[in-house]
Amino acid sequence: MAKQTKKKFEAEAFRARIMALRGLWDTDWSDWEADWLDSQARRPAGYIQSDKERVILNQLVASAKGFEGYNGFTVQELFAMANRYLKDLDEASEEFIIALSARLPKVLRVRQINQLARICRINEDIGVDEAVEEVLREVRGQDDGSEEWSKVA
């Protein structure tokens, strides 16, 4: 009976995290990630997720982590750096900077801050932010094996 209750609790926590991630307004989900979240949200209540599904959820939770800066530089300072060299960037990087600059966000998701830092690093010595690197390792699929996934985002 206790094992069944734990499984039910885990299933409910998993579903709550899915719903929380779907409710984030400023994400950079790929089409596959957005589709996966939607498909998980359509699962029936009490659905017991697989280990692979838990790993994917952990990666998406890590992807959703927001950062106000990178290695001591605020997001605004990084935008200013990137904008100084805007015409030196490739088309995709230029579009990325223009799109984000239009919103003037103070917080960026981990992949966004990493991309912005990569762009800045072309012309500026901004170093490496270990907190961002740690989250990126989680995003890239290193499952720590803990039950941390059961905490609601």
Query: Residue range 97-112: average pLDDT?
Result: 90
Residue 149 domain flag: no
Same domain, 71 and 54: no
Residue 86 domain flag: yes
Query: Are 13 and 145 within 8 A, CB to CB?
Result: no
Quick one: pLDDT at residue 142? 54
Closest CA to 133 of 112, 114, 109: 114
Residue 95: which domain range?
67-136
d(CA 49, CA 153): 17
More confident residue, 81 or 151: 81
Q: Of the residues 64, 86, 103, which one is the last residue of a structural domain?
A: 64
Nearest-5° angle of CA 120, CA 100, CA 66? Answer: 80
d(CA 51, CA 102): 40
Query: Are 75 and 114 within 8 A, CB to CB?
Result: no
Same domain, 131 and 81: yes
Same domain, 128 and 95: yes
Least confident of 1-15, 50-64, 112-126: 1-15
For 54-101, write each residue's pLDDT tens digit: 999 988 998 899 999 999 999 999 999 999 999 999 999 999 999 988
Helix (H, G, I), strand (E, B) or coil at 69: strand
Q: Number of folded domains in the chain?
A: 2
Same domain, 14 and 54: yes
Query: Residue range 107-113: average pLDDT?
Result: 93
For 26-40, write each residue's pLDDT tens digit: 888 889 999 999 999
Residue 141 domain flag: no
Helix (H, G, I), strand (E, B) or coil at 84: helix
Quick one: pLDDT at residue 2? 66
Same domain, 73 and 130: yes
Residue 18 domain flag: yes
Same domain, 131 and 104: yes
> If pLDDT is split at 50, 70 and 90, which confidence band does 102 have?
confident
Residue 33 domain flag: yes
Same domain, 82 and 128: yes
Residue 143 domain flag: no
Same domain, 15 and 38: yes
Q: pTM for this structure?
A: 0.77
Question: Residue 69's beta-bridge partner residues?
Answer: 74
Residue 142 domain flag: no
Residue 119: other Cβ atoms inside 10 A: 23
